[in-house]
Amino acid sequence: MLKKTDDRGISLRHTLATLAYRASKAIRNAPRGFGGFRPAKGSRSAGEILAHMCDLMDWVLTQARGKERWRNSKPRTWQEDADRFFFALTAFDEYLASNAPMNITAERAFQGAVADALTHTGQIAMLRRMAGARVRAENYSRAKIAAGRTGQSQPSSVSEYGR
């Protein structure tokens, strides 16, 4: 079981906060209709990627609770899936912060769902650029990221490039 003072638990919670910060930046202010944007025929749309990120966060929470369950959900509206993603991310973070038993190691949680969601966050940012609505680059090492801050509302950027 991870505890609030467990280095692995603290690192995983900080990683979730980092995911929230970066995903919030990539997701917010997406242009109208962006959820349907695809870079090529047969590729996932931006909305399908975001729905998959929701599924990843739901899945890792079921793993943590010891009742693993996967589902492939269909995209909803961009805002509905954004809300769902941050809700699921926060639910997982709150579970980590609690004294509830952890039925997956921090390492497995990271290498599976969390790392995959980070990868997909980068894909959404890349798709935004391709769609003509780029996400500003930033010195993320200076960002105001803190464990437990996993909601959609994030602090303003400290050091963006190309203002």
Residue 4, pLDDT score: 46
CATH classification code of 7-142? 1.20.120.450
Q: What is the pTM of this model?
A: 0.93
**Helix and strand counts by DSSP (H, E) for the chain:** 5, 0
Residue 125, pLDDT score: 97
What tens digit of pLDDT does each residue of 52-108 get?
A: 999 999 999 999 999 999 999 999 999 999 999 999 999 999 999 998 999 999 999
Q: How many CB atoms lie within 10 A of CB 8?
A: 16
Domain boundaries, the chain: 7-142
Please say if the pLDDT value at position 163 is more than 70.
Answer: no
Inter-CA distances, 43 with 9, 46, 117, Å = 35, 9, 17
Mean pLDDT, rounded, for 122-126: 98
| Look-up of token digits 């944007």 | 37
